Structure 1
Amino acid sequence: MSAVPEAGSVVLAATPIGNVEDASPRLLRLLADADLVAAEDTRRLHALAARAGVAVTGRVVSYHEHNERDRADDLLDVVADGGTVVVVTDAGMPAVSDPGFRLVARAVERGLPVTAAPGPSAVLTALALSGLATDRFTFDGFVPRKAGDRARWLSALTAEPRTMVFFEAPHRIVETLAAMAEAFGPDRPAAVCRELTKVYEEVLRGTVGELADTVADRSATGDALRGEICVVVGGAPAAAAPSVADLVGEVLTRVADGERLKTVVADVATTAGVAKRDLYAAALAARQA
């Protein structure tokens, strides 16, 4: 099967999240051959290229959150003329909590091709190393900075059943973990992953409460977490299904208010997912007791 053509297209290219050896051969070829490289930080791009031993021959422009909307059409004009525009961020996959989304959306509007050179992802790496469920997960980006906004935002996620992945800055991690313990409860399983794929990579696992205490203690003793941090939190546990005995009181209350026993039993049993026959028998026995 032939490769997706790159000439005359936008290519979202993933860059290493720490270890330069994770740079793919395709990324290095794209950096060497692209007509234009749009980089979140041009200095970091050139540093990466130097470490990887590749010469960037095309034009290099900055493309970050403050100019991505205004610069999108300029980049896409290069694509429309048959050129290859490679988009890279400081680390990981463009458009995932990084510039790139608006460019892709505009390319779709203009009917211009977009492809990707996939690679390292802090989100997926943290998820894989967390030890938590990976079959269903959400990425929620950066936690709000202000305490009130953070508390309300986390409160809205308390019933989320999927594993959750967040980004956080080192100077806010103590407050964020404390807020998570308050919102999710101290016993929710979690992991704090920092400096992934780098020399000082570290993954702390435990409950949210334990991690909040550990990170706060380390901060107080001069061993504060540094670097780029991902927090992974287990989803809300499934609520235990009610037993037949738990439902009898509701049935009898509604019957006492004038509803027919069989009608109430059918309604309650269907809603709760229990057998109608068992609930009916239990309700009769309770009435006769």
Structure 2
Amino acid sequence: MEYFTLNTNEKIPVIGEGTFLFTPDEAESAVLTALEQGYRLIDTANYYMNEKAVGRAMKKSSLKRSEIYLSTKLWPSEYEQASQAIDETLERLGTDYLDLLFLHQPVGNHLAAYQAMIEAVAAGKVKSLGLSNFSQNKIGELIEKTGVAPAVVQVEAHPYANQTALKEFLAPYNTKVMAWFPLGHGDKSLLNEQLFSDLAAKYHKTNVQIILRWHTQVGNIVIPGSKNPVHIAENLDIFDFELSPAELAEIKKLDVNKTYYVQTEEKLNEYLHLKQDYSKQK
């Protein structure tokens, strides 16, 4: 495993197991498999409705809590009661601290929620703060109003969308990017780019492994989510080779600022009013 050092001086694994769209049973199985195979970063969210399952998998593993880097996210409908939501999140996950806590969407009273997260850091409940799906402007506003830069920003990022401008903005704060849709939402045109096929043949890897290695070498934390034990193992098997500077430069040329998810005001408003009963998690 390789690690990045965050602006909180905490170390985070460069690759982890994501659990988006996993049922509780799928999440528990995938997380346990990932931990057994060498993963140390697990990413979940209140909204995913599988935090209890993630907590069970962590306890079933042979690892100590300190050996696992755990990240989760608060949903907008909880922002007004963020302190309570953090405590309830800890209870669902069966842990007394979170390594990384995100605000999931830039809507509602996210300033109050971010302040509550800052207080949770002071109380020892959270080690590092993150923002998910926040634009550069909204990130800047929160930093200006609180004086606290996030340690991680989670956004869509892949070879068709490098997030170059955002990363340049975040660089002075030493804020890292965590990539969701790291494989372009499974876009076959991206996965089957001739450049990746050529590099895969050269390094005796798959196209997916080439893309994941590209992520880690350009400074992205990456959280591919897989339920398949074979794919979980393959996704981690990327540290026995290194792409050259010339190869990284060729991959950079693929950037066409293409994204697969468009954030709209209508969607954001829906998020604000979408509530779930997290006590019903299995």
Q: TM-score, normalised on structure 1?
A: 0.29
The structure that has the greater radius of gyration is 1
Q: TM-score, normalised on structure 2?
A: 0.30
Q: Which has the higher contact order (CA 8 A, sep 6+)?
A: 2
